[in-house]
């Protein structure tokens, strides 16, 4: 009905633009660590809207499974599985999750390595174990995610390779791609975020900042005013970049750090 479709498009518009064609990720599978979290769930939701099935990974069983159930309602026929009790620091956990994903959904075409640890702490407050925990979750966790999914990603990449002679684009769509979610803290350094800055320097890719969590509202208003684009980033911005990178449009982009931050980090005192 009209009401249903207009409600659906409103919901869709919360985390993605309407510029992307329906169905571009039909029959594709995305595997995402941290997939129940604020940023990664928006990335996965955008891909589901455009046809993908998804496997989201998390440490918290209830949170992960309930996010997966909710995501499955986004598009009729969408298959979404949530695998909880997975610690990205443990390679065997991820290997088992990747195997289950392939068994239940048939493949892994895209990976989003999004699981991360974060809290504010000065160097004085930060214990050696706290620093190590963030390194292990962010850097080792991203590596483990890559390592556990690589055989499937390579298989998908081979299947969806562009013909370099004819430049015929991607039979059956794109595949074999991974995004590591990062930040810009380490471009300038950030007080209370030394551990995360070091970790993100190791990952160095896409991310967004937790403004609501970190700033009081009056500081937030001043911050927004000072931004080059006059607004703060939205998870939708990250979701749109994700769609671009995983689509045919992004097929010639590789090994790059795509900063989606409205030029924030370039400003003096950037956040
Ligand atoms: C100081 C802290 C702390 C805090 C934990 N620790 N929280 N130290 N301040 N707020 C210390 C603990 O005391 C302990 O050290 C060590 O860290 C390990 O903590 P554990 O509780 O044992 O848990 P663990 O399972 O290892 O998990 C650690 C964790 C994790 C990193 C705190 O629970 C976590 O990440 N939670 C938040 C997840 C999150 O917000 N993710 C979104 C990331 S957003 P000791 O010495 O006592 O043993 C993101 C974007 C970045 O990454 C850009 C933002 C601008």
Distance from the alpha carbon of residue 79 to the mean position of ligand 1, in angstroms: 32
Neighbours of 43 (CB within 10 A): 32
Q: Give the pLDDT confidence of 138-149 residue by residue, as tens digits.
A: 999 999 999 999
Q: Is the CB of 5 under 6 A from ligand 1?
A: no
30-40 burial string, b = 16+ CB within 10 Å, else e?
Answer: bbbbbbbbebb
Residue 224 resides in a domain: yes
> Tens digit of pLDDT for each residue in 6-23?
444 545 556 665 556 788
Give the pLDDT mean for 153-161. Answer: 86
* The pLDDT value given to residue 162: 65
182 has catalytic annotation = yes
More confident residue, 226 or 193: 193
- CB of 184 shorter than 6 A to ligand 1: no
Mutate to test the pocket of ligand 1, among 117, 180, 235 (most ligand atoms within 8 A of CB): 117
More confident residue, 192 or 203: 192
Is the pLDDT at 270 greater than 80, yes or no?
no
Residue 9 lies in a domain: no
Q: What is the mean pLDDT of residues 65-86?
A: 97
Per-residue pLDDT for 211 more than 80? no
Catalytic residue among 200, 207, 209, 247: 200
Among 34-38, 41-45, 179-183, 208-212, the range scoring the smallest mean pLDDT is: 208-212
Please report whether residue 4 resides in a domain: no
- What's the whole-number mean pLDDT along residues 135-162? 91
Residue at 51 is within a domain: yes
CA of 236 to the centre of ligand 1 (A): 26
How buried is 15 (Cβ within 10 angstroms: 0-12 exposed, 13-18 middle, 19+ buried)?
A: buried
Q: Which of 115, 119, 191 to mutate to test the pocket of ligand 1 (most atoms within 8 A of CB)?
A: 119
Q: Residue 11: what pLDDT?
A: 57
Ligand 1 centre distance from Cα of residue 56 (Å): 21
Tokens 């129940």 correspond to what residue? 36
| Residue 236 pLDDT | 81
What is the per-residue pLDDT for 170?
A: 62
Asked if residue 210 belongs to a domain, the reply is: yes
Residue 213, domain extent: 20-266
Tokens of 224: 């927004």
Please say if 21 is a catalytic residue.
no
**What is the ipTM metric for this complex?**
0.93
- Rg for the chain, CA atoms, rounded: 19
Q: Which range, 8-22, 27-41, 220-234, 247-261, has the best average confidence (pLDDT)? A: 27-41
pLDDT of residue 5: 42
The number of distinct structural domains making up the chain is 1
Burial of 57 (C-beta count, 10 Å sphere; 0-12/13-18/19+): buried
User: Nearest residue CA, atom 4 of ligand 1?
Assistant: 119
Nearest CA to ligand 1 atom 29: 117
Whether 5 is covered by a domain: the verdict is no
Testing ligand 1's pocket by substitution, the residue of 130, 199, 235 carrying the most ligand atoms inside 8 A of its CB is 130
Q: Which of 114, 136, 96, 139 is nearest to 58 (CA)?
A: 114
217 has a pLDDT exceeding 70: no
Q: Which residues contact 76 (CB under 8 A, 6 or more apart)?
A: none
Note the pLDDT of residue 186.
87
CATH of the domain at 158: 3.40.50.720
Instruction: Give 21 or 164, the one with higher predicted confidence.
Output: 21
In this prediction, residue 36 carries a pLDDT of 96
The residue whose CA is least distant from atom 40 of ligand 1 is 118
Q: Does 169 fall in a domain?
A: yes
209 pocket-lining for ligand 1 (C-beta < 6 Å) = yes
Nearest CA to ligand 1 atom 44: 118
CA–centroid distance, residue 196 to ligand 1 (Å): 10
DSSP type of residue 206: B
For residues 197 and 165, the model is more confident at 197
On whether residue 2 sits in a domain, the answer given is no
């Amino acid at each position: 009905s009209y009401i249903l479709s207009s409600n659906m498009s409103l919901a869709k518009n919360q985390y993605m633009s309407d510029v992307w064609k329906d169905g571009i990720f039909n029959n594709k599978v995305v595997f995402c660590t941290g997939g129940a979290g604020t940023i990664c769930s928006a990335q996965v939701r955008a891909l589901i809207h455009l046809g993908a099935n998804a496997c989201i990974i998390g440490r918290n069983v209830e949170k992960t499974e309930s996010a997966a159930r909710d995501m499955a309602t986004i598009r009729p026929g969408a298959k979404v599985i949530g695998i909880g009790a997975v610690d990205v620091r443990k390679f065997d956990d991820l290997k088992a999750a990747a195997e289950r994903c392939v068994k239940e959904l048939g493949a892994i075409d895209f990976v989003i390595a999004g699981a991360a640890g974060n809290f504010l702490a000065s160097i004085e407050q930060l214990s050696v174990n706290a620093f190590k925990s963030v390194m292990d979750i962010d850097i080792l966790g991203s590596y483990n995610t890559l390592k556990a999914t690589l055989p499937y990603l390579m298989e998908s990449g081979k299947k969806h390779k562009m013909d370099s002679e004819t430049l015929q684009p991607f039979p059956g769509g794109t595949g074999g791609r991974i995004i590591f979610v990062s930040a810009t803290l380490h471009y300038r350094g950030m007080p209370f975020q030394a551990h995360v800055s070091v970790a993100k320097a190791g990952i160095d890719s896409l991310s967004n900042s937790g403004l609501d969590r970190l700033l009081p509202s009056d500081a937030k208003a001043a911050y927004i005013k000072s931004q080059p684009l006059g607004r703060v980033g939205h998870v939708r911005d990250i979701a749109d970049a994700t769609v671009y990178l995983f689509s045919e449009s992004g097929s010639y982009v590789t090994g790059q750090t795509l900063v989606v931050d409205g030029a924030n980090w370039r400003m003096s005192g950037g956040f």
